[in-house]
Chain A
Amino acid sequence: MGHQVLTGFERRYIRLRKTIDRLLPIILSLAVFIAVATVASLLLIVIITGGHRLSWNLILNYPSANPEEAGMRSAIMGSIFTVGLSALICIPLSIATAIYLVEYSKGGRLSSILSYNIANLAGVPSIIFGVVALGFLGYWLGMGRTIITGAFTLAILTLPLVTVTCVEALKAVPDDLRLGAYALGATTLQVVRHISLPRALPMMLTGGILGISRALGEAAPILVVSGLLFIREDPTSLFSKFTVMPLQLYNWISRPQPAFVELSSAGIIVLLLILLALNGVAIALRQYLIRRIGQTWR
């Protein structure tokens, strides 16, 4: 009887662990189910309420007192201009900040102070950004309650979020590669240009798109900057007055007529479709970058 036999306790213990191993995925998938079910039921409600209101009018027409004709053309325009412009401001700035923090001032005191502040900034309620932007940009710098002020507001709002992602993206590039390049006589700029940035870019752009999605859904700071306007014209310049999709939806949903509430639901579907399209673009771009830039000398 040289063979070692498990005691009863050991056998029970193994059985217990196996049971836990089987139960855990069930519990975890329950958590997933709750999240998915919430989103699905929201979508369902929105589609049931507003699905039949989906029409080209919704996209092509200006707002109107008549729900049959009302559209959100000016709000879509306003959103595209402010959010697009804010992305143009925010993404390069975030990438530059991240490059400075990770590649140049690594581990320095300045770097840790900056990182700490950026993290704090990410937690500031968005309406505060609206108030500050209106006071500083709108009145003090005289930019008014215009598209450009709105764009800067959204850019400042999304900056910390996107910067944090960009920093993480650069940190995810193995230091081995940087050291290898430095050891061959590369300058920091060359290391960034040829080693870290190409490998971090896909994740950075994903972060950028997430920031854009966030900006697209923001109502509070824009409400402060633009006010609740009834606009029946396309923006003509960066200094035009504007409104955005979430504000238009807010406007409709607060009206007493049920037709406008339905319209609001239809508008939410449009907003979601735009967000979905943006995410699709982000994923496609990331895959393209990973395949093309990440794997070759550029």
Chain B
Amino acid sequence: MEIESYNQLLKNYVELSKEEMSDITGPEVVKVENLKVVYGDKTAIDGVNISFKRNNITAIIGPSGCGKSTLLRSINRMNDLIPGAKVSGKVYFNGVDVYSRDVDPVFIRSKIGMVFQRPNPFPFSIFDNVAFGLRVNGFKLSKSELYEKVKDALVKAALWDEVKDRLNKHAYSLSGGQQQRLCIARALAVDPEVLLLDEPTVSLDPISTARIESLLRSIKDEYTIIIVTHNMLQAARVSDYTAVMMPDENMVGRIIEFGETRQIFTNPRDKRTEDYISGRIG
């Protein structure tokens, strides 16, 4: 059975558990077909086809300016917020095209969470940061239920032990790595199905990076994770699948290779992939 309409998708979210949902929608949570994104008169990516499997980590790697972030932002419609951005092609989320007219991007973003390059906690307390998504999405929760959800998210983001005694402290009192894990907790609190990470460790030290990588592996059984990274070793360490993007001669980003991470790194089919991962270009 396939979900054809947005209303049916919404209904299923109310009525079905995650497992039942996945039985209906199959292994591909997000499927991108022939995606093209144009900023003003510059084409950022074109002809992108890729699908992301449930409970897997997929890494998107490639040199700067190849459209990795653009692809990521197209999935939860964050490109809508960029003036002059035009998206054509299809992005299916659980079988529903997120760009069809009746789809509310606000709902899509609550089901497809996102973590950004630089940690961007809100200028609130640690607790209020994690509770933000629950509050704006109108979850009807008692005080203790809210606390449990916040705790749950912080535990998953491997931050609970460090902050449990100071939940009311300002988020800016945390270190950079802690702030980024707070942002992950914030995204997880609204219980999304997909988590998008846009170079989440690029501003962090190696220890903080390792923490985030291990937390991603620990939560992948519950979420579908898509991570954009500059760091090829990171892709090799955390991901199950890897997509390699590369700008073509017109500087339009395209996916040149997609497959299991092991295959991409040990036996790349495309010469450019081989050059890129061996450090000859990029």
A residues adjacent to B (C-beta < 8 A):
106-108, 174, 176-187, 190, 194-195, 199, 294-297
Contact = CB atoms under 8 A, between A and B. Distances in A.
B124 A190 contact: no
Given A184-B186, A185-B190, 12 more contacts: A107-B84, A179-B78, A180-B116, A180-B122, A184-B110, A184-B187, A186-B136, A187-B106, A190-B136, A195-B122, A295-B123, A297-B124
Given A199-B123, A295-B123, A185 B106 contact: yes
Contacts of A187: 106, 136
B243 interface: no
B132 A181 contact: yes
B106 A297 contact: no
Given A183-B113, A184-B186, A295 B81 contact: no
A190 B110 CA distance: 14
B81 A297 contact: no
A296 B128 CA distance: 8
B167 to A, nearest CB: 12
A185 B133 contact: yes
Contacts of A182: 78, 81, 109
B137 interface: yes
Given A194-B132, A297-B131, A297-B135, A177 B120 contact: yes
A296 B136 contact: no
Given A194-B132, A296-B128, A183 B109 contact: yes
Interface in B113-158: 113-114, 116, 118, 120-125, 128, 131-133, 135-137
Given A185-B107, A185-B136, A187-B106, A296 B124 contact: yes
A167 to B, nearest CB: 16
Given A183-B78, A185-B110, A296 B125 contact: yes
B76 A183 contact: yes
B83 A106 contact: yes
Contacts of B122: 177, 180-181, 195, 297
B81 A184 contact: no
Contacts of B133: 184-186
B25 to A, nearest CB: 20
B83 A183 contact: no
Interface of B: 76, 78, 81, 83-84, 106-107, 109-111, 113-114, 116, 118, 120-125, 128, 131-133, 135-137, 170, 183, 186-187, 190
Nearest to A190: B136
16 contacts: A179-B78, A180-B120, A180-B121, A182-B78, A183-B116, A184-B190, A185-B106, A185-B107, A185-B110, A185-B111, A185-B190, A187-B106, A187-B136, A295-B170, A296-B128, A297-B124
A180 B137 CA distance: 14
Contacts of A186: 106, 132-133, 136
Q: Which 7 A-B pairs have the closest CB atoms?
A: A185-B110, A107-B83, A184-B133, A297-B128, A176-B120, A183-B114, A186-B136
Contacts of A295: 123-124, 170
B136 to A, nearest CB: 4
A297 B136 CA distance: 11
Most chain A CB inside 10 Å of its own CB: which residue of B111, B136, B183, B186: B136
A123 to B, nearest CB: 27
Contacts of A296: 124-125, 128
Contact of A108 (B83, B116, B120, B136): B83
Contacts of A106: 83
Contacts of B76: 183
A259 B183 CA distance: 69
Given A106-B83, A107-B84, A296-B124, A179 B109 contact: no
